[in-house]
């Protein structure tokens, strides 16, 4: 379940928080098991006090010998069919082995889980190790560990087909020797590059216009009054009742649209061209252009 | 099930010695909720039909231009061990009010400051009852005076918006994100009892607006950790559980298990019930929507429909037994819950009066079903860039286009078109009103693990382009959009017999003409949290709406 984000204009760079994945499910440090004031990450598994490093090291060793063949070295299930322990309701509910140890000792043999003759201290150490890995699970059950996805998996497009598409659809506004000269260097991550070019990203100004740091270019607006007078500027906001704009000289003007004879308001969104293009953009064309832009040196 | 020790006794922190006494009657008889929406507002959606259509018409098209502010009140969420709620200050400030402190945490996770106001607000016997995550208030509906505040020290949990409270006699019911159902005394805000309704350890989080139906208290919860969804019914007096109905198959042989890769996949399949549904007193059927399957977007669920995710489900409220279901997004791959309000309408269809349920779902499709049988009658399409599906199947369900599924290299597709903000239906126009958002974005498969992914961690959107937000008016007989009015931000809707449609446009509270979408009146109160509401008190009709952390009440000043 995700909540709505009322994104209005180009939103780039929402992604890639995943690139900081921990390497492997090494035990989390006891004192810093994701402790955070961020409400969204504070489930018990992320805030609980972990066992001592000695216990976790022993648990990890025991797990790897006894458990990993079935449950996987990353706890997400293994070749021999053991279930994913990272989403196991039993593992999540366990505190210090009181639920996990009986299963290790044979309580679920009828369901195919063999009995392991570990001492209570050892089965508890295994449980504590499992908790230390569960502590690394991110928000909305993001699993720890590497995804194995590399840049090559994103850059699957055909460079020359991308170049052709670019020449046909993009070159009237953009140039790979002009505003996009070092675009591949600016967006080292190919997903960020793709998001940016599709959505008219933050540093891609149109023509000679400077890019506005941290956001897309604002819309401009022309307000034409019935007597022929015009106001032109950068759009601050518009609703059914008022349009507010910033004039070239820095003056801020708000104009009522509620009179019996309201002015005409024309908004020019610099992303209109991108919106038009994206309506019919195929995934293949998108990947091709991304591959082309990524190849620009 | 074990949980953190219950050391933290609820205590009453009285900033003043006078108790918050309210003149007159307090309680809400369950039978009062059976009345069509008028003077009071007794559930999240106002009444059981979820139409959000009020028969009040003191405020109407001829006088709405005179609508003006009666009062405005700002609210502060609690933080720290005692809440740290500032007393009202300034000349003419109201008297301090009691703050009741509860909760099992320390207060360190409570952010305080501006509360997120986005739930249903009850109005019963001249008192408003409003909630936000970890906070609840009673407010004098005549002048906005805060009578008490309840503050819950949270242990955490995914803090989505709190959807509101339920009421039974003098009891109020509030869910908190670390999975307690709290029964509050409506007169004082003190706890009567609390009960763990789902496992915080298993990463459930609870924000549902509890719904009283007779001697049943329906309670939902949420989860993003591949845990099974369920709906529960409790005894409103004691908090004892009456029944629990899972929304995914839990046992071999259960209906729908064949639509999953395995029983294990089904048992981790999600389908959380996190928004209230609608209730038909004649048939005792409660209809509600279920959430997305888990893992969302990706591998591990098999190729089947994944029942009963993304579905409308009808249960008998006395037993919890499922009567029918209709899946609005078979095998969802976009994390589009189908929890948007099912709206009960008795209206002509195909030449006779029928008992219908109308719903506009997050996938951008509008459905009309027979609410007694679940028979499909109409599917309509919303949205300007709604491109994820390849038409409809023989049951009127959208057929997902696999080419629009998230991929490792990215797939460009529309984002969700509507969401929790409440729709409305006016019997005067025969139109169903729903918010519409139009965005294309790129979805990436981030976790192609062949063993199956987990939760929602498998994907991340980016490259979003907006095509604008609208209010849609939909003809229920055809599913066609009759008018579409552009606004800068959507929220829920309220229709009234005064021939008015109220909503927020991102900046303003606006009254629209329901037949056309033409704005008739507005006030710039800020971004509304959910649908406006209305009530009648001392012969005056009020329009109630939140803007940011403030609650505004408007009346006719003539």
Q: Within 13 Å, how many C-alpha atoms sit on residue A126's CB side?
A: 27
Residue A215: closest CA among A230, A235, A231, A232: A235
Considering only the beta carbons, identify the residue of B385, B451, B507 that sits closest to A84: B451
B4 occurs within a structural domain: no
d(CA A23, CA B291): 32
User: Crossing angle of helices A190-199/A272-279, nearest 10°?
Assistant: 110
pLDDT in tens, chain B (558 residues): 333 333 333 334 444 434 444 445 679 999 999 999 999 999 999 999 999 999 999 999 999 999 999 999 999 999 999 999 988 887 778 888 999 999 999 999 998 999 999 999 999 999 999 999 999 999 999 999 999 999 999 999 999 999 999 999 999 999 999 999 999 999 999 999 999 999 999 999 999 999 999 999 999 999 998 999 999 999 999 999 999 999 999 999 999 999 999 999 999 999 999 999 999 999 999 999 999 999 998 878 999 999 999 999 999 999 999 999 999 999 999 999 999 999 999 999 999 999 999 999 999 999 999 999 999 999 999 999 999 999 999 999 999 999 999 999 999 999 999 999 999 999 999 999 999 999 999 999 988 888 888 887 567 778 889 999 999 999 999 999 999 999 988 899 999 999 999 999 999 999 999 999 999 999 999 999 899 999 999 999 999 999 999 999 999 986
Tell me, yes or no, whether B6 lies in a domain: no
The CATH 2.30.30 domain(s) of chain A lie at 220-268
A10 and B487 within 8 Å at the Cβ level: the answer is no
Counting Cα atoms < 13 Å in the Cβ hemisphere of B413 gives 26
Domain A18-141 -> CATH class:
mainly alpha
Beta-carbon separation of A153 and B409 below 8 A: yes
ipTM for the predicted complex: 0.90
Using CB atoms, which residue from B201, B408, B455 is nearest to A153? B408
Cβ atoms within 10 Å of B302's Cβ, excluding its own:
16
Task: Name which of B463, B469, B521 to mutate to probe chain A: the one with the most chain A Cβ atoms within 10 A of its Cβ.
Answer: B463
CB pairs under 8 A between A and B: 238
When CB atoms are compared, the residue of B264, B408, B465 closest to A154 is: B408
Contact between A87 and B437 using a beta-carbon 8 Å cutoff: no
SS3 A102: helix
Q: Work out the angle at residue B49's Cα, subtended by the Cα atoms of residues B47 and B50, and round it to the nearest 5 degrees.
A: 75
CB nearest B451 (choices: A1, A44, A77): A77
Q: Is residue B3 part of a domain?
A: no
Q: Measured between CB atoms, does B62 come within 8 Å of chain A?
A: no
Write the class of the CATH domain A151-214+272-295: mainly alpha
Q: Is residue B1 part of a domain?
A: no
A277 CB neighbours in chain B (<8 A) are none
Q: Within chain A, which residue ranges are assigned CATH 1.10.760.10?
A: 18-141
Q: A91 with A101: CB under 8 angstroms? A: no
Question: Among B305, B309, B359, which residue's Cα sits nearest to residue B330?
Answer: B305
Residue B469 lies in a domain: yes
Map tokens 């015009």 to a residue: A230
Q: Is B156 in contact with A47 (Cβ distance < 8 A)? A: yes
Q: Which residues of B touch A127 (CB under 8 A)?
A: none
Classify B362 in phi/psi space as left (phi over 0), alpha (psi -120 to 50) or beta. alpha
Instruction: Identify the CA nearest to A274 among candidates B403, B470, B413, B464.
Output: B464
Confidence (pTM): 0.91
Residue B173 makes CB contacts below 8 A (sequence gap 6+) with B165, B166, B167, B181, B182, B183, B184, B210, B212, B217, B219, B236
Domains in chain B, number: 1
Chain A residues close to B224, C-beta within 8 Å: 1, 139-141
Answer yes or no: is B8 within a domain: no
Whichever domain contains B373, its CATH number is: 2.140.10.10
Residues β-bridged to residue B183: B173, B193
DSSP calls for A160-190:
HHHHHHHHHHTTTT--TTTTTTTHHHH--SH
pLDDT digits (tens, 9 = 90+) for A65-99: 999 999 999 999 988 889 999 999 999 999 999 99
* Matching residue, tokens 């042989």: B253
Residue B30 distance to chain A (closest CA, Å): 31
Rounded Cα distance between B418 and B420, Å, is 7
Residues 6+ apart with CB under 8 A from B89: none
Domain that residue B437 falls in:
13-556
- Out of 1.10.3470, 2.30.30, 3.30.70, 2.60.40, the CATH code matching A220-268 is 2.30.30
Strands laid side by side in the B67-74 sheet: B67-74, B550-556, B540-547, B533-537
């Amino acid at each position: 379940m995700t909540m709505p984000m009322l994104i209005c204009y180009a939103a780039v760079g929402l992604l890639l928080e995943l690139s900081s994945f921990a390497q492997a499910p090494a035990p989390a440090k006891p004192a810093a098991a994701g402790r955070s004031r961020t409400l969204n990450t504070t489930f018990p598994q992320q805030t609980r006090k972990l066992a001592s490093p000695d216990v976790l090291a022993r648990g990890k060793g025991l797990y790897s010998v006894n458990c990993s063949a079935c449950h996987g070295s990353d706890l997400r299930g293994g070749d021999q069919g053991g279930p994913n322990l990272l989403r196991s309701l039993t593992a999540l509910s366990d505190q210090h082995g009181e639920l996990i140890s009986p299963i290790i000792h044979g309580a679920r043999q009828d369901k195919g889980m063999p009995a392991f003759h570990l001492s209570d201290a050892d089965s508890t150490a295994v449980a504590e190790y499992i908790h230390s890995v569960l502590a690394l699970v991110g928000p909305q059950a993001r699993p720890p560990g590497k995804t194995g996805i590399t840049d090559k998996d994103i850059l699957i497009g055909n460079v020359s087909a991308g170049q052709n598409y670019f020449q046909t659809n993009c070159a009237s506004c953009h140039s790979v020797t002009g505003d996009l000269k070092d675009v591949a260097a600016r967006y080292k991550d190919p997903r960020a590059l793709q998001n940016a070019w599709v959505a008219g990203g933050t540093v891609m100004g149109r023509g000679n216009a400077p890019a506005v740091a941290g956001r897309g270019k604002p819309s401009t607006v022309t307000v034409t009054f019935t007597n022929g007078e015009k106001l032109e500027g950068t759009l601050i906001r518009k609703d059914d009742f008022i349009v507010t704009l910033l004039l070239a000289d820095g003056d801020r003007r708000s104009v009522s649209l509620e009179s019996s004879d309201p002015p005409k308001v024309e908004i020019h969104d610099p992303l209109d061209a991108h919106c038009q293009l994206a309506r019919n953009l195929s995934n293949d064309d998108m990947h091709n252009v991304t591959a082309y832009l990524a190849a620009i040196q | 099930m074990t949980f953190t020790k219950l050391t933290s006794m609820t205590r009453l922190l009285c900033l003043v010695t006078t108790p918050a006494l309210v003149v007159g009657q307090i309680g809400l008889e369950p039978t009062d909720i059976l009345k069509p929406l008028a003077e009071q507002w007794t559930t999240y959606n106002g009444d059981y039909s979820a139409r959000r259509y009020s028969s009040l018409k003191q405020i109407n098209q001829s006088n709405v231009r005179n609508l003006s502010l009666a009062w405005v009140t700002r609210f502060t969420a609690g933080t720290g061990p005692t809440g740290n709620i500032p007393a009202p200050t300034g000349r003419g400030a109201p008297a301090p009010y009691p703050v009741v402190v509860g909760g099992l945490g320390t207060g360190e996770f409570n952010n305080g400051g501006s509360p997120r106001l986005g739930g249903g607000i009850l109005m019963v016997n001249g008192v408003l009852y409003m909630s936000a995550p970890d906070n609840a208030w009673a407010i004098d509906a005549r002048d906005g005076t805060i009578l008490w505040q309840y503050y819950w020290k949270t242990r955490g949990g995914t803090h989505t918006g709190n959807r509101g409270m339920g009421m039974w006699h003098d009891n109020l019911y509030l869910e908190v994100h670390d999975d307690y159902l709290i029964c509050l005394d409506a007169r004082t805000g003190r706890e009567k009892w609390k009960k763990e309704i789902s496992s915080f350890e298993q990463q459930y989080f609870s924000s549902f607006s509890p719904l009283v139906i007779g001697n049943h208290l329906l309670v939902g919860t949420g989860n993003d950790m591949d845990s099974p969804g369920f709906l529960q019914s409790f005894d409103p007096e004691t908090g004892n559980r009456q029944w629990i109905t899972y929304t995914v198959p839990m046992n071999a042989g259960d209906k729908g298990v064949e639509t999953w890769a395995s029983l294990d996949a089904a048992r981790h399949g999600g389908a959380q019930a996190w928004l209230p549904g609608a209730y038909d007193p004649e048939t005792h059927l409660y209809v509600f929507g279920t959430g997305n399957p888990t893992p969302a977007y990706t591998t591990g669920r098999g190729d089947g429909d994944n029942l009963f995710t993304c579905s409308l489900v009808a249960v008998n409220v006395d037993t919890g037994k499922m009567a029918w279901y209709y899946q609005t997004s078979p095998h969802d791959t976009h994390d589009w819950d189908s929890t948007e309000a099912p709206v009960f309408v008795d209206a002509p269809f195909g030449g006779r009066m029928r008992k219908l349920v109308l719903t506009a779902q997050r996938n951008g499709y509008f459905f009309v079903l027979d609410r007694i049988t679940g028979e499909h009658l109409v599917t309509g399409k919303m949205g300007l860039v709604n491109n994820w599906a390849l038409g409809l199947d023989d049951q009127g369900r959208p057929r997902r286009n696999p080419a629009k599924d998230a991929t490792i290299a990215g797939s460009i597709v529309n984002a969700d078109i509507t969401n929790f903000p409440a729709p409305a239906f006016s019997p005067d126009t025969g139109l169903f009103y729903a918010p519409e958002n139009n965005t294309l974005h790129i979805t990436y498969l981030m976790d192609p693990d062949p063993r199956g992914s987990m939760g929602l961690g498998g994907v991340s959107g980016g490259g979003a382009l907006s095509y604008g937000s609208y209010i849609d008016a939909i003809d229920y007989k055809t599913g066609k959009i009759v008018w579409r009015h552009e606004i800068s931000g959507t929220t829920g809707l309220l229709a009234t017999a005064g021939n008015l449609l109220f909503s927020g446009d991102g900046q303003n509270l606006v009254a629209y003409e329901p037949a056309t979408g033409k704005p008739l009146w507005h006030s710039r109160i800020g971004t509304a949290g959910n649908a406006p509401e209305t009530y009648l008190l001392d012969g005056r009709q009020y329009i109630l709406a939140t803007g940011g952390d403030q609650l505004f009440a408007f009346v006719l000043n003539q």
